[in-house]
C-alpha cells in the first residue's frame, strides 16, 4: 500500500493566502534575532492581536519583522532621549 500523505494547506493570517503546511512561519521565528528581545516581540505582537502560533506566509512574516524592528528602533531611541 503506497499512499501519498496529503499536505494540509495553511492560511496566512495577514494576507489570507493559502500555502503548504511546511511553509508556515510564526512569530517564534523572531526568538533568534539579537534585538529586540523575544519577550518584547511577544508583547508587541500581543498588541496587534497576533499569537505565537498564528500562521503567516514568508512575505507577511518578513513584513512583520520589518515593522517590529522599526518600532523597536524608534522605541529604544526615544527611551534614551
Total-model pTM: 0.78
Higher pLDDT among residues 50 and 76, named by residue: 50
Rounded Cα gap, residues 26 and 28, in angstroms: 5
pLDDT in tens, 17-69: 887 777 889 999 999 999 999 999 999 999 999 999 999 999 999 999 999 99
In DSSP terms, 11 is beta-bridged to 18
Rounded Cα gap, residues 33 and 49, in angstroms: 21
Tell me how crowded residue 2 is: count the other CB atoms within 10 A of its CB.
3
pLDDT in tens, 42-51: 999 999 999 9
Specify the DSSP element, H or E, that contains 57: none
Amino acid at each position: 500500500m503506497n499512499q501519498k500523505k496529503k499536505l494540509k494547506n495553511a492560511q496566512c493570517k495577514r494576507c489570507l493566502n493559502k500555502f503548504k503546511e511546511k511553509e508556515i512561519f510564526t512569530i517564534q521565528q523572531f526568538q533568534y534575532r539579537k534585538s529586540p528581545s523575544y519577550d518584547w516581540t511577544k508583547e508587541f505582537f500581543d498588541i496587534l492581536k497576533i499569537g505565537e502560533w498564528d500562521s503567516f506566509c514568508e512575505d507577511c512574516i518578513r513584513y512583520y519583522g520589518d515593522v517590529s524592528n522599526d518600532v523597536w528602533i524608534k522605541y529604544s531611541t526615544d527611551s534614551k532621549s
